[in-house]
């Protein structure tokens, strides 16, 4: 019989192999320098677009000042940035996890809508439950329903091979109509309203505000902790857990995963379900922390922005956190921009899109900012 591992000793030759190779400069460039330059390039291009549409230079300057002030310039600005980042990061984590497992899940928007609605319904259905319990259980309801909704696409792929891009897009469209229908049901619809809108989440079901002791208008809520816990959890799941190893292996090389005895069906369904749970949590956090009720389109495209976010964060939990803060800042700052300088908020959408374009094209960024990169990184690592 062949020798077992336990008997062998870790001698010096083996110990040498345990030296951590230093993170190469190429990695640093890829993960840090490219995104920073991408943001700068997008802002410059945004300014040029404003110029082209007849905005004068003074206003452009004013709008960028407003962008900075509105995102990080005051306590209120920071609170708004973080509040906007919470659902983006939660949903983005789910998508990033899916990407790692080789699943291109476009369905965060639908999962988020279903999760958020479930959280609202659960919360007003049990108004008798005390504070932390109702809040937590409502979050759980959101996560469970989001997971269930996403696993429909997972099961379809695992059993019939239906491509998840198609099925999740269809499930998004389906979710809009389900929501429309549900919100008109007498049990769910707010009393005395003709439009589709749900009853309100009772106080005990809401994520408490964190800064209302400073100023009752500050909207930052306890979803912040949920977001940070989720970042840590997804990091552990992907890089430390058995399931995450199978996820990553299946994403990187499905043939090798099959050879290694990993069950592709299990990976697909469980990765989709986890992603859906996180998107559902994003919806629940939005409903329980900000909106207090579900209404049609309350997701406001968060599920789609989260795709960009996951790509920007390179499907890494920490990267997604930073990307989420950036997008949150752009959103909060964009509102200020509109107020102070009268520039359309659509410009922020353009800047976000440009950032993604530049991130997706590292060679372009290298060509625009040649001094930021080592000379002989010819061809890049892409």
Partner 1 sequence: MDVELRGITKRFGPVTANDNVNLTIRGGEVLGLLGENGAGKSTMMNILSGLYSPDAGEILIDGKPVVFEGPGDGIEAGIGMVHQHFMLVPVFTVAENVVLGVEPTGNLGYLDIKKARHDVEEISTKYGLRVPADELIENLPVGIQQRVEILKVLFREADVLILDEPTAVLTPQEVEEFFGIVRSLKEAGKAIVFITHKLHEILEISDRISVLRQGRITGEGDPKTLDEEKLAEMMVGRHVSFTVEKAPAKPGKPMLELSNLVMLDDNDDFVLDHVTFTVPSGEVVGIAGVQGNGQTELVEAITGLARIASGKIIFDGTDITHASVRERHRMGMAHIPEDRHRSGMIAKFTIAENMVLNSYYDEEYARGLSIDWKHVAETAAVFCVDFDVRTPSVFLPAGNLSGGNQQKMVVARELERETKLVVASQPTRGLDVGSIEYIHKRLIESRDEGDGVLIVSSELDEIMGLSDRILVMFEGRIVGEFDNTGGKADRNAVGLAMAGASEGAAA
Q: Interface with partner 1 by CB under 8 A: which residues? A: 1-6, 8-11, 13-21, 24, 236, 240-243, 245, 248-249, 252-253, 255-256, 258-261, 376, 378
Q: How far is the CB of 164 from partner 1 (least distance, A)?
A: 21
Strand locations in 131-226 (E): none
Calpha distance 326→362 (Å, rounded): 19
Q: How far is the CB of 355 from partner 1 (least distance, A)?
A: 25
Taking Cα atoms as reference points, which of 199, 213, 382 lies closest to residue 373? 382
CA distances from 112 to 38, 62, 103, 150 (A): 29, 36, 17, 10
Q: How far is the CB of 97 from partner 1 (least distance, A)?
A: 16
Q: How far is the CB of 274 from partner 1 (least distance, A)?
A: 13
Q: How far is the CB of 104 from partner 1 (least distance, A)?
A: 18
Paired residues of 209 in beta bridges: 221
Name residues whose C-beta falls within 8 Å of residue 107's C-beta, 6 or more positions apart in sequence.
149, 150, 153, 164, 167, 168, 169, 171, 172, 276, 279, 303
Q: State which residue, 17 or 58, has the beta carbon closest to partner 1.
A: 17
Q: State which residue, 11 or 160, has the beta carbon closest to partner 1.
A: 11
Q: State which residue, 222 or 243, has the beta carbon closest to partner 1.
A: 243
Calpha distance 250→341 (Å, rounded): 49
Q: State which residue, 168 or 270, has the beta carbon closest to partner 1.
A: 270
Q: How far is the CB of 243 from partner 1 (least distance, A)?
A: 7
Taking Cα atoms as reference points, which of 21, 1, 52 lies closest to residue 347? 52
Q: State which residue, 13 or 52, has the beta carbon closest to partner 1.
A: 13
Calpha distance 165→364 (Å, rounded): 28
Q: State which residue, 21 or 160, has the beta carbon closest to partner 1.
A: 21
């Amino acid at each position: 019989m062949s020798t077992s591992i336990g008997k062998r000793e870790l001698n010096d030759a083996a110990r040498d192999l345990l030296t951590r190779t230093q993170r190469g400069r190429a990695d640093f460039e890829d993960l840090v320098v490219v995104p920073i330059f991408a943001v700068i390039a997008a802002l410059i291009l945004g300014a040029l677009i404003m110029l082209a549409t007849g905005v004068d230079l003074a206003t452009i300057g004013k709008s960028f000042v407003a962008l900075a002030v509105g995102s990080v310039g005051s306590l209120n600005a920071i609170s708004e940035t973080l509040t906007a980042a919470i659902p983006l990061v939660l949903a983005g984590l789910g998508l990033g996890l899916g990407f790692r497992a080789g699943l291109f899940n476009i369905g965060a928007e639908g999962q988020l809508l279903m999760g958020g609605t479930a959280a609202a319904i659960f919360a007003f259905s049990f108004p008798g439950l005390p504070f932390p319990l109702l809040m937590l259980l409502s979050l759980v309801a959101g996560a469970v329903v989001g997971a269930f909704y996403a696993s429909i696409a997972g099961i379809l792929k695992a059993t019939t091979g239906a491509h998840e891009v198609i099925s999740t897009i269809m499930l998004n469209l389906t979710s809009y109509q389900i929501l429309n229908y549900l919100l008109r049901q007498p049990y769910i619809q707010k009393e005395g309203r003709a439009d589709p809108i749900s009853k309100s989440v009772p106080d005990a079901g809401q994520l408490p505000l964190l800064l209302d002791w400073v100023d009752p208008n500050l909207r930052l809520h306890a979803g912040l902790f949920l977001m940070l816990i989720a970042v840590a959890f997804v990091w552990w799941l992907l890089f430390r857990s058995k399931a995450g190893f199978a996820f990553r292996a299946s994403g990187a090389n499905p043939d090798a995963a099959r050879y290694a005895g990993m069950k592709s069906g299990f990976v697909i369904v469980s990765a989709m379900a986890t992603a859906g749970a996180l998107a559902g949590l994003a919806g629940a956090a939005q409903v329980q922390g900000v909106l207090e009720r579900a209404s049609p389109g309350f997701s406001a495209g968060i599920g789609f922005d989260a795709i960009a976010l996951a790509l920007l964060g390179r499907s890494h939990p920490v990267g997604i956190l930073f990307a989420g803060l950036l997008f949150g800042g752009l959103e909060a700052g964009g509102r200020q921009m509109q107020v102070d300088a009268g520039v359309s908020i659509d410009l922020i959408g353009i800047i976000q899109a440009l950032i993604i374009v530049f991130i997706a094209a590292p060679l372009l960024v290298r060509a625009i900012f040649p001094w930021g990169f080592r000379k002989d990184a010819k061809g890049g690592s892409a």
